[in-house]
Amino acid sequence: MAENGPKIGVMVCGHGSRDEGAVREFDSVARGIRERLPQYEVDSGFLEFATPIIRTGLDNLREAGHDLVLAIPGMLFAAGHAKNDIPSVLRTYEAQNPGMKIEYGRELGIDTKLIKAAAARIQEAVDAANAANGEMPLSETMLMVVGRGASDPDANSNVNKVMRLLWEGFGFGWGEVCYSGVTFPLVEPGLEHASKLGYKRIIVFPYFLFTGILVKRIYDYTDVVAERHPEIDFVKAPYLSDHPQVLDAFADRVQEILDGANVMNCKLCKYREQVLGFEAEIGLPQESHHHHVEGIGTGDAEAHDHGHSHSHDHDHVHGHDHGHDHGHSHDHDHGDHHHHPYPHADHPLGPVTMAKDEASS
């Protein structure tokens, strides 16, 4: 920071979770970012389902005299939360506090540091499986990378690129992708398909930053499919968590803002381009609908249910604005809020089928 220049603070914006373990892990990541950026005051907050909320962290930085905040999303890919909900919260705060300027950074995305962290987690799983069940050639091992799943095909496609980099880097016999929610294929049908390919070992790797309901669900479905196929060694790899390379990548995102290299990929953004199957969503307005679950800590979340589930294994999409103009309006009417329908909600390998199966069990 130059002498007499702005006082710069850093804000790490997390999604939030009902799971206390996920909140603890996010806090651990925030501490790791602080250690890597000792020249700045670093605060953090959540969009929903946990405290402190993002506004509280911004209040702390403002009250400490910061007039420029570098905000980064604590997320792997840019789907609805990173594109819409967090920017909406930040811009609303900025409008209400004109003395503070907020610059928004990009998501972690496809990054060599993240690939190295993922490779380390997968290697842990391979080593443990070899020690427990005997050596297995990688050529006879299949990799299943599990993404979160979003209603944004660009975010979903990134999981496939991560999988390919890991598959080819290790030299696994085969690689596939499935998702924990929203899109298809989900974990159970994805693993059932994988079990037909003839591989003796399947590594299931959740490409997630933190634990929570979704990661536990991934492991649970792995157990379900493994019980049906005892001839296959299903191995549950650990997720990314606070791997040092992940923390380094977060620090890089902050530096990118200062260097003017903070560019989010919009070439395949469904709000800007004619993405196949999502043409109706071009130019949708930006807003966040998380006000009703903002700041209800993990202990209160289970009781907060007014007729619909808040498990949030889905994505909330309302248009987007992440630091540059897409040539469409962001005006919206809070009285007429609704989710734009996901065009493949009834796909036989997607969430509707899972909900029917759960209802009949």
Please, which pLDDT band fits residue 339 given cuts at 50, 70 and 90? low
- List Cβ neighbours of 9 (8 Å cut-off, separation of 6 or more): 40, 41, 42, 43, 61, 64, 66, 68, 69, 70
Q: Around 335, how many Cα atoms within 13 Å sit in the side-chain half-sphere?
A: 0
Q: What is the pLDDT of residues 39-53, one digit of tens each?
A: 999 999 999 889 999
Q: In whole angstroms, what is the distance from residue 270 CA to residue 268 CA?
A: 6
Please, which pLDDT band fits residue 144 given cuts at 50, 70 and 90? very high
**Mean pLDDT taken over the chain:** 82
pLDDT, greater one: 346 or 179: 179
Please, which pLDDT band fits residue 332 given cuts at 50, 70 and 90? very low
Which of 2-6, 110-114, 187-191 has the weakest average pLDDT? 2-6
Q: What is the pLDDT of residues 245-275, one digit of tens each?
A: 999 999 999 999 999 886 654 444 544 554 4
Q: What is the pLDDT of residue 341?
A: 72
Q: Measuring CA to CA, which residue among 49, 30, 71 is closest to residue 214?
A: 49
Can you read off the two tokens belonging to residue 114? 């993240």
Say what the pTM is: 0.77
How large is the angle between the packed helices 187-195 and 213-228, nearest 10 degrees? 30
Q: Could you give the domains of the chain?
A: 8-109+244-336 (3.40.50.1400), 112-236 (3.40.50.1400)
Asked if residue 87 has pLDDT above 80, the reply is yes
CB 181 within 8 A of CB 122: no
Asked if residue 152 has pLDDT above 90, the reply is no
Q: What is the pLDDT of residue 82?
A: 87
Asked if residue 168 has pLDDT above 60, the reply is yes
How large is the angle between the packed helices 112-133 and 244-259, nearest 10 degrees? 170
Q: Measuring CA to CA, which residue among 131, 136, 160 is closest to residue 147?
A: 160
Task: Name the strand (E) or helix (H) holding 121.
Answer: helix 112-133
Which of 73-82, 98-107, 147-156, 169-178 has the weakest average pLDDT? 73-82
Q: What is the pLDDT of residue 32?
A: 97
Q: How far is CA 138 from CA 112, 143, 176, 208, 237, in A?
A: 22, 9, 15, 23, 15
Q: What is the mean pLDDT of residues 109-121?
A: 96
Q: What is the mean pLDDT of residues 86-98?
A: 96
Q: What is the mean pLDDT of residues 101-130?
A: 97
CB 45 within 8 A of CB 54: yes
Q: What is the pLDDT of residue 337?
A: 39
